Structure 1
Amino acid sequence: MVSIDKENHTDFLSRSVSYLENRGFNNIKADLEGYETPKSFIKKGSDITITPDIVADKKGIKHFFEISVKSEKPHLLKSKWMFLDVLSKMKSYRFKIISTKGHYKFTNTMLDDLNMDKKMIKINS
């Protein structure tokens, strides 16, 4: 999610972290109290910073997780997802999208626009 949306959806972010902990992920980094903040990537020549919502390890493989909620800036979100998808393919990481009820259609539309063939992780409220 984009930093503008993070303020409104911290509860969903913490539920997502709990979900991942219950699924055996470790070394979890998230922009939440009590967790280390994930590494940020800075676009050269501008002041744009890209920080994955959640980074976790499982069986020695790094996973990037993005929280998908309806956004005021879908263009910025698409750029972020494309960057993380390319980075994960280059480094043999995994990139997954997490969404919740009320945001599935938005998420599917975004994935279709980007031609990304991803199955989203659905977490109920």
Structure 2
Amino acid sequence: MVQVDKAESTEVIKDSVVYLESKGFENIKADIEGYETPKSYLKKGSDEIITPDIVAERAGIKHYFEVSLKSQKPTLLKSKWRFLDVLTRMRNERFKIITRRGHYKFTNEMLEDLNLQKNLIKL
């Protein structure tokens, strides 16, 4: 999610971290207080910083997780998802999207606009 929406969604990220821990993920880094912050990337040509919501490892493979909630800036979110998708495919890692009830339609429309085929993790 985008920095603008981050304040409202810390609870969702905490729930997601608990879910991932129960699924056997290790070395979890989350973009919330109390956890180590994942590596950030600077968008060239602007002052926009891209930070994945959650980064974790399982079986030696790094997984990037994005929490999808309705956003005030969908174009910024699309560019973030596109960047993370390209990054993970280049490095042979995984990119997954976590969403909640009430946000499925928004998430599916975003994925459709980006032409990404992802299985959503529904909490």
Scaled by the length of structure 1, what TM-score is found?
0.96
CA distance in 2, matches of 1:68, 1:45: 26
CA distance in 2, matches of 1:47, 1:93: 26
Q: List 4+ stretches of structure 1 deviating above 4 A.
A: none
Which segments of 5 or more consecutive residues in structure 1 lack a partner in the other structure?
none
CA distance in 2, matches of 1:25, 1:57: 5
In the other structure, the counterpart of 1:2 is: 2
- The sequence identity of aligned pairs, in percent, is 65
Shift of 1:81: 0.1
Shift of 1:34: 1.9
SS of alignment partner, residue 28 of structure 2: strand
In the other structure, the counterpart of 2:64 is: 64
In the other structure, the counterpart of 2:24 is: 24
1:77 aligns with 2:77: yes
Contact 2:62–2:93 (8 Å) recurs in 1: yes
CA distance in 1, matches of 2:115, 2:42: 24
Q: Which residues of 2 match residues 17-56 of structure 1 at below 5 A?
A: 17-56=17-56
Shift of 1:32: 1.9
CA distance in 1, matches of 2:31, 2:46: 23
Shift of 1:45: 2.6
CA distance in 2, matches of 1:7, 1:33: 11
Which segments of 5 or more consecutive residues in structure 2 lack a partner in the other structure?
none
Contact 2:31–2:51 (8 Å) recurs in 1: no
Shift of 1:31: 1.5
Report the aligned-residue RMSD.
Answer: 0.6
Shift of 1:59: 0.3
Aligned residues: 123
Q: Which residues of 2 match residues 91-110 of structure 1 at below 5 A?
A: 91-110=91-110
CA distance in 1, matches of 2:19, 2:53: 14
SS of alignment partner, residue 9 of structure 2: helix
In the other structure, the counterpart of 1:86 is: 86
CA distance in 2, matches of 1:101, 1:45: 36
SS of alignment partner, residue 98 of structure 2: strand
